Structure 1
């Protein structure tokens, strides 16, 4: 597996990953009625941001987007989001994408990386982020409506460089 920059021809494989994750309503705060065009505009970042894919040969296993967390006085802190194909989970794809995003942010001179809304029941992602140096700086109780668990918290997580 390798991580590389997103190319427009990747969209045919990236969109099904995004669609599946969003429609499951378990880990992202995106509208489940999100269209492919809306998702493209939301996910594919332009500089100073970046979109990447994890590939095995020609197959896209996962994707990441990263960039400044906020504009202006908050632009020294980065953020990132990750999605992995259902059949590629548990194989280190999310970890590789997270490490790639952290490396990218450090090279760009960011002071740290902040995740604004990590669903606390997404244990696999939370464990990856903790292993990679993030801490939970706060949790908004009941801020996410999970389809089977009901209202669960959203973590704000931060990794200082």
Structure 2
């Protein structure tokens, strides 16, 4: 079956098996390894990406369900060679240890900040509650998202002003 999916702004057309999971389309067909494949049950959130700007766990979505849609992966957060503040926050605040949950945490963290630019700690913890980290205890992940909230990206308009 042929699908056409826009991934990080680039239209991708592939012939795939109808039962292929979206996480495998991203990782295997497109060779984009940022989206991690964890539990296959949507419990861990390592596979989180956005479909039409909404966070989705790609291990329980068929790739054919994304036909004609726009997907953003963790690689798509950076713009013009500049890391997104959420990516910088994870670096600045040591928001990872093994790194397995990191892409999914970044995707839900960025989605949270897009909806609520100044969340409280409780709101951050609620916002990431569908994603599991087995290493950090979440303290540094929360701090990374808070850092990103305090250090938003500079827009092109602000740079030229």
TM-score using structure 1 length: 0.30
Q: Counting helix residues as a fraction of each chain, which structure ranks higher?
A: 2
TM-score using structure 2 length: 0.30
Q: Which has the larger radius of gyration?
A: 2
Q: Counting strand residues as a fraction of each chain, which structure ranks higher?
A: 1
